[in-house]
Chains A and B, each alone.
Chain A
Amino acid sequence: MKTYKIYSLIGMLIILSIFGCEDDFLDRQPQATLVAGNFPATGEEAVIATNGIYNTLRIWGIYSGGFPLIDIMTDEMVKGSNPGDGVQVLNFQNYTFTADDGNIETWYRTLYLGIRRSYLVLEKVPEIEMDAQLQNRLLGEARFLRSFFYFSLVQAFGDVPFVESSEAPDGLERTNKETIYQEVIIPDLLFAIDNLPEKSEYANEDAGRITRGAARAMLARIYLFRGDFQNAATYALEVINSQQYELEDEFQMAFRVATEHGQESVFEIGAIPEGNFALGGNQYANTQGVRGTPNWGWGFGRPSYPWIEKLNNNNDPRLEGSVIFLGDTIDGVLIQGDGTTPDTTYAEDGSILQIETYNRKVYATGERSADRWGHNRRVIRYADVLLMAAEALNETGRSAEALTYLNEVRQRARGDVDGILPDITTTDPDQLREIIYEERTRELAFEGLRYWDLIRTNRAEEILGPLGFEAGKHELFPIPQSEINISGGNISQNPNWN
């Protein structure tokens, strides 16, 4: 009997001793990652957290979902690539895409990912005891980026759920976009203007961070989109008068590796020539790179034949700077293109529909396909700022001033060639307006701007109607169907998308 007691006692002791620390034994932290809550806690960590927001700008889905869909939807571009590849992209060329489209969902979700990452900085950094100037700069960068993501959302989708912290509550509905403009998009940029350094004030190793100039230019772009020409003019002129920027001497140099973060670049996304996102690559240019020989990419986003013809007809040198043709030799490499893609496609009446070409604005030097991933996407160029200034000035009765900036762009485009692209002299606001519009599509083609230009100037139905654009519907993209489904109907669809 005694033995039994001893055994039970030992047994009990073993069991009790193990149970005593059971919860500790079962508390397991994730490995190699932090549990959210106490990061960032220092000035250094604040920088690292801010860098995490910028990372979003390189995600494949951030601009209309990877493929240059927003340009393919315009008269400047068609789907491209091999006819059999990426068939769903054709839906954007033809306006047959639906709310189920995965590209739209990716785009929408990635924008909110950026917003959530911004909140990590906006919520934690103000509490950190650190260098006040750096603190404000980081908050300025974070607020610019939040504004950028939200503007992209309301521009594309109209009213959207308004998330105001890193932990979004359940059951959000759509908030009037005006509220989002007034509470976030515009105030964030004003804060950024007040707190961010000018481009020249950043250290060399910080090139690519958001500048005061970028914030002003962004604000100008937003006001222009809203039709507030007064403010658009104000902020575009502030950029111009800041003396921080100049056009590159040659048009095509605005996009080259050699001029990354150069004098024309206002807002640009740094990327490293590695075929890998984690290593700093950006697939944006690979998606559009020459397909076949040389193997530079997939060949999506083909310059449209009418656009090519238009520039060709008056010998606009920007054609060469914007388009890669078969037979071109670039940096010693002969462009042969894709063997299984027809070089020319004809309509039934025998007229040319398309020719195999590629977007030269995303060309990056280098032999390897991975070099394409190093292309720095220019989100805002100084040429755009000049044209925004010209347009806004023209709309506010300052047409003569507008000419200065318009002609600055034309002069650079013209280069040394005589007899083309003469200086514009008319100060008739209506005439000048049309000329500026035309200048924008020549100068800024394939840069994600045309579609919104047509929407904001109410020309979309006229110009894109033949492609499939329906007024009253396509001014906005559909809210992704998944978002509506998950909300259980809390989130409504845009007009005419059901």
Chain B
Amino acid sequence: MKKKLQLILLLIFIVTSVKAQVELKGKVTDADTNQPIPGVSIKIVGSDRGTVTDLEGTYTLSIEEEASLSFSFIGYKTQTVDVNGQSTINIQLEEDIETLDEVVVVGYGAIKKSDLTGSISSIEADEMIKAPAADPMQSLQGKVAGLQVLNGSGRPGAESNVRLRGITTLNDNRVLYVVDGVIIEGGIGFLNSNDIESVEVLKDASSKAIYGTRGANGVILVTTKTAEVGEGGISLSSEYGVENIANKIGVMSGPEFANYINDAEPGTYNNISALPNTDWQDEVLQNWQPIQTHTISAKGATEKLSYYISGGYFGQEGIVPKSDFERMTFKLNTSYEVKPFLTLGTNLTGININATNPPGVVNSLIRAWPINAPYNDDGTFGEVQGSNPLAAVEFNNSTRNELRALGNFYAEVYFLESFQFRSSYQFDIINNKNRSFTPEFFVAPLQQNEESNINIGFGESRNWIFENTLSYNKELGRSTINSVIGYTAQEINSEFISGGRRNLIGVDPSLWYLNAGASDYQVNANGGATSALTSILFRTNYAYDGRYLATLTFRRDGSSKFGRNNRYANFPAIALGWNISNENFYPQDFIINNLKLRASYGLNGNQNIPGDDQYSRIGSGINSVFGFNESLINGASFVDSPGNPNLRWETTSEYDIGIEFDVLESRLQGEFDYYNRTTSDILVLLDLPGYAGAGAFVQQRFNAATVNNNGIEFALNWVDEIGDFTYGFGVNGFTNNNEVTDLGEDIGIADNIISGDLGNGQRVTFTEVGMPIGHFYGYKVAGIFQNDEQLNEFPRLSQQGVGDFIYEDVNGDGVLNDDDKTFIGSWIPDFVYGFNFSVGFKGLNISADFAGQSGNSIYNGKQAVRPNLVNFEDRFLDRWTGEGTSNTDPQASLTGINYQPSDYFVEDASFFKLRTLTVNYQFLRTLLDNINFNSISVFVRGTNLFIWTDYSGYTPEIGSGNSALGGVIDNGVYPTTRVLSTGLNMTF
């Protein structure tokens, strides 16, 4: 075999070397526009020699007289011409409508959009919202039907809260991110959005099944930039902006607060005008803080080598002092065709983050007493009830550094024409370091630090995946087959080490090390975690004549998080599609020029739990103190949470029916889907019987409960141009019904789960069959007791008096008690939507993006939690002060019965906001010819300019935490900001 090959190569060499050579020149242009096309691939038929057109579309090639040349470029019909001794060949390429068909990344492969059977939203880089933010996901808010993106924190570097098609599980609802094939633990806030080529959101069971393992909550595939043959150049993009607080929370002023206290405790303050009047939000928050992002990149490609390289910087100071965030990113994507049958490549990303951990003042901004002054007369910090936030800022020195490298090395082997074997080693290594120094200080008895202290923590996480896939792509007559089979193994190991000391020999940052502390007190900790996963995957996509489509997907996973008996699970899926508009009977000139129906059904899994939940464990450090000279003596016993050896996969079954259509020569593109997903065997932490001896606040992991989500999802986009005037708009959204259909009472679980701790012992969420997950639960306020008559008329709690809330006797039994607590709102929106438009004339373009949601509530926990007497929000100004004064707000009360969980604290958190408004000017090409730039554009942008909402907190965009059971409770968030920015993009 090998000898034969050598012989053939030798023959080719001899044949080619004896032929007469000519020097051939030419130019390739677009048949319609006559514009030159750079990067057109020119190949000598029957050899692997060739060249590429330059920026002017021209080429030169040394070639034998009788050769044939093929000219190909993506989006154009390939042309083949015979040289026949000519020395100049100019070619006009025609656009190929069929191959223009977008290619969509689907996980372990890519498929033509027209052959797609699943529900996938694909967003190209130029379609993503440009907003100054660390997390690229912020760019998808309101952009993808089915995707809820909440940017609920103004903290620099904050990640978005992303949920797909509702709340799938009681447990962790985070979507799975895959960056260049690397499965990420957590979000993608570390990525530079300028490096992203496209984002694919896999939504239905069939699309997700290839990631069966962890696909249930949705999968987001991120593909970073590469260069196509002929592309090349350097580009620079820069944006600089300033941040201001989006809206302050209305709290009582000094006099208002003192009056309120006087109402509750008469005579407390006699000379109110003499009291200080401090607005803590104004005192602490700093406006006009810079936010900036800069990226420089270069890319290029030849037939064999392709590269993309970039460096990026993102910096944000933050409106809370000492909360800055800085990130540097480096990106290198290359591939090299070593042999015609072998390509080697790598995608690498390096990240360095330096950030200051914000001081914990978000709550004290609104709670600190307004009648306390920030400073004493001598300039020292004043004693402030509810903590002096300025002092808290001053004495907070906590930093975080993160170094992260992720990427892959791969080899692709092509053989027998249609086969491709790909082997890829992928890694994601995270190293982080935390350092926190608190000096010795005294502000007040309850705000002091008796000894300076230092705490250091190092952590690392190493995640590797070894992935081997074999693909088969073949067109057989009218059939197209697209198959992949593979095996992957993954291992994640993490470890941390931390230490602390006290009484440092100084306060200078150069001393913020353990060794600068006294040696009499030393604490340290070190631990780790490990988990592994193996998978077999298979998918085949079959298209017949572009009309009938079918996809079969299967993944079998084994997870270390479950015992041997329950370790493996299978996740199959099937999807069917029908391109009706490709049928012969379909009228060619019909207004709907493209029409497709599709349907899918399948199973996805979720195993997003710590690895140890299956084990009952014995831990060290359960210490005791013995001896006349007391010392801490080692003890060991059960680590509180008992294991559940019977844990198994959480499974989501989902069906999806969709229709896609293009109208008016594809000016309007639309998509509708109905989705219905049911998650069962939900992995959830539940309270054990107390007698199980796990201790207080310790829960055990169970497979319990079933949740259903269903709804309709739509996306409509219109793009058109009239002469030089271009315009477009898009609208998308989805509805969601969320219902718990089973809680697993049969396995000894209570018929409800109470959660949503406010931090004061009150728990305000309730999960029960027939209702949405973790809905708010408490009394319904029916009014205010105006007089003694009413007090006797309505059932009430013993502590209630005139001026207090009337709670509704919901079950009508004439007694007010816990049984009258009821549903008082859900945090899960019924409808999430986005809207955008853009208009352009010549180089000028104006675009705007809107996002919104409705039907959801937030429990305003910061108004209810009152362990101490702290400032009040301004709604309490409308208080009841006597018969007839108010039937909605109770009398002044510092604590007690009116703070019972009730719908008084549940606020409508529907919102609609103008996410970004951008005015962009791109300099016309004629202006650029002299200065060698390909393009230059400048823009000004406003981000978070307007929000329409009834919610009284900093933002209604608060998402649920990692457990959905606790709902959305506003216990104080970092204030969100409005950004005004300007920027520049250029390529040359």
Q: A and B: partners?
A: yes
Contacts of A161 in B (CB 8 A): 689, 691
The verdict on A280 contacting B752 (CB below 8 Å), with A48-B636, A85-B867, A98-B818 known, is: no
Of A2, A7, A26, A204, which contacts B560 at CB under 8 A? A26
What is the bound-complex CA distance between A40 and B618, given in angstroms?
Answer: 10
A272 touches B625 (CB 8 A): yes
Cβ of B578 to closest chain A Cβ, rounded Å: 35
Contacts of B532 in A (CB 8 A): 25-26, 28
Q: Which residues of B in the span 749-777 have a Cβ within 8 Å of any Cβ on A?
A: 749-752, 754, 760-761
A49 touches B637 (CB 8 A): yes
Q: Which residues of B in the span 422-454 have a Cβ within 8 Å of any Cβ on A?
A: 445-446, 448, 450-451
Contacts of B88 in A (CB 8 A): none
Of B693, B749, B799, which contacts A115 at CB under 8 A? B693
What is the bound-complex CA distance between A497 and B446, given in angstroms?
Answer: 38
What is the bound-complex CA distance between A106 and B446, given in angstroms?
Answer: 26
B750 touches A52 (CB 8 A): no
What is the bound-complex CA distance between A3 and B446, given in angstroms?
Answer: 78
What is the bound-complex CA distance between A84 and B421, given in angstroms?
Answer: 69
Cβ of B983 to closest chain A Cβ, rounded Å: 46
Q: Which interface residue of A15, A98, A260, A485 has the most chain B CB atoms within 10 A? A: A485
Cβ of B684 to closest chain A Cβ, rounded Å: 14
What is the bound-complex CA distance between A51 and B627, given in angstroms?
Answer: 13
Of A18, A53, A376, A480, which contacts B637 at CB under 8 A? A53
Contacts of A176 in B (CB 8 A): none
What is the bound-complex CA distance between A269 and B470, given in angstroms?
Answer: 66
The verdict on A486 contacting B750 (CB below 8 Å), with A110-B696, A208-B625, A368-B450 known, is: yes
Of B534, B620, B643, B895, which contacts A25 at CB under 8 A? B534
Residue on B nearest A172 in the bound complex, by CB: B691
The verdict on A480 contacting B690 (CB below 8 Å), with A35-B618, A39-B636, A84-B868 known, is: yes
B421 touches A35 (CB 8 A): no
Contacts of B896 in A (CB 8 A): 87
Contacts of A85 in B (CB 8 A): 867-868
What is the bound-complex CA distance between A55 and B635, given in angstroms?
Answer: 8
What is the bound-complex CA distance between A209 and B625, given in angstroms?
Answer: 9
B616 touches A35 (CB 8 A): yes
Q: Which residues of B in the span 577-630 have a Cβ within 8 Å of any Cβ on A?
A: 611-612, 615-630
- Determine if A487 is an interface residue (Cβ-Cβ < 8 Å): yes
Q: Which residues of B in the span 632-686 have a Cβ within 8 Å of any Cβ on A?
A: 632-640, 642-643
- Determine if B77 is an interface residue (Cβ-Cβ < 8 Å): no
Q: Which residues of B in the span 64-123 have a Cβ within 8 Å of any Cβ on A?
A: none
What is the bound-complex CA distance between A485 and B767, given in angstroms?
Answer: 13
Of A3, A34, A271, A483, which contacts B691 at CB under 8 A? A483
- Determine if B748 is an interface residue (Cβ-Cβ < 8 Å): yes
Contacts of B689 in A (CB 8 A): 161, 168, 170, 172, 483, 486-487, 491
Contacts of B534 in A (CB 8 A): 18, 22, 25-26
Of A28, A33, A170, A278, which contacts B618 at CB under 8 A? A33
Q: Which interface residue of B451, B626, B761, B896 has the most chain A CB atoms within 10 A? A: B626
What is the bound-complex CA distance between A278 and B383, given in angstroms?
Answer: 31
- Determine if A227 is an interface residue (Cβ-Cβ < 8 Å): no
The verdict on A49 contacting B528 (CB below 8 Å), with A26-B558, A204-B627, A483-B691 known, is: no
What is the bound-complex CA distance between A498 and B465, given in angstroms?
Answer: 56
The verdict on A295 contacting B445 (CB below 8 Å), with A31-B527, A32-B526, A168-B691 known, is: yes
Q: Which residues of B in the span 505-546 have a Cβ within 8 Å of any Cβ on A?
A: 523, 526-534
Cβ of A32 to closest chain B Cβ, rounded Å: 4
The verdict on A36 contacting B618 (CB below 8 Å), with A3-B1, A105-B696 known, is: yes
- Determine if B688 is an interface residue (Cβ-Cβ < 8 Å): yes
Q: Which residues of A in the span 414-454 have a Cβ within 8 Å of any Cβ on B?
A: none
Of B567, B617, B618, B623, which contacts A55 at CB under 8 A? B623
Quick one: CB contact mask for B262-294 with A, threshold 8 Å, 1 for yes?
A: 000000000000000000000000000000000
The verdict on A207 contacting B626 (CB below 8 Å), with A30-B615, A48-B636, A113-B694 known, is: yes
B615 touches A27 (CB 8 A): no
- Determine if A86 is an interface residue (Cβ-Cβ < 8 Å): yes
Residue on A nearest B896 in the bound complex, by CB: A87
Residue on B nearest A273 in the bound complex, by CB: B630
A272 touches B567 (CB 8 A): no
Cβ of B658 to closest chain A Cβ, rounded Å: 35
Contacts of A33 in B (CB 8 A): 612, 617-620, 639
Of B625, B635, B697, which contacts A49 at CB under 8 A? B635
A7 touches B626 (CB 8 A): no
Contacts of A105 in B (CB 8 A): 690, 696
Contacts of A370 in B (CB 8 A): 450
Cβ of A223 to closest chain B Cβ, rounded Å: 26
Cβ of B428 to closest chain A Cβ, rounded Å: 18
A485 touches B626 (CB 8 A): no
15 additional contacts (CB under 8 A) given A25-B532, A48-B635, A105-B690? A3-B1, A28-B530, A30-B617, A34-B617, A48-B636, A49-B635, A83-B869, A102-B761, A163-B693, A205-B629, A207-B627, A276-B523, A369-B450, A483-B690, A485-B752
What 7 pairs across the A-B complex have the smallest Cβ distances? A116-B693, A52-B637, A51-B635, A270-B625, A295-B445, A113-B695, A54-B624
Q: Could you tell me which A residues sit within 8 Å of B by CB distance?
A: 2-4, 7, 11, 14-15, 18, 22-23, 25-36, 39-40, 45, 48-55, 57-59, 61, 82-88, 96, 98, 100, 102, 105-106, 108-110, 112-117, 119-120, 160-161, 163, 166-168, 170-172, 204-209, 260-261, 269-272, 276, 278-280, 291-295, 338-340, 367-370, 374, 376, 480, 482-483, 485-488, 491
Q: Could you tell me which B residues sit within 8 Å of A by CB distance?
A: 1, 383, 385, 415-416, 421, 445-446, 448, 450-451, 468, 470, 487, 489, 491, 495, 523, 526-534, 558-560, 564, 567, 611-612, 615-640, 642-643, 687-698, 745, 748-752, 754, 760-761, 798-799, 818, 866-869, 894-896
The 17 listed contacts between A and B (C-beta, < 8 Å) are A3-B416, A11-B470, A25-B560, A26-B567, A32-B527, A32-B528, A35-B615, A35-B616, A49-B635, A51-B635, A58-B625, A83-B869, A112-B695, A116-B694, A168-B689, A170-B748, A482-B690
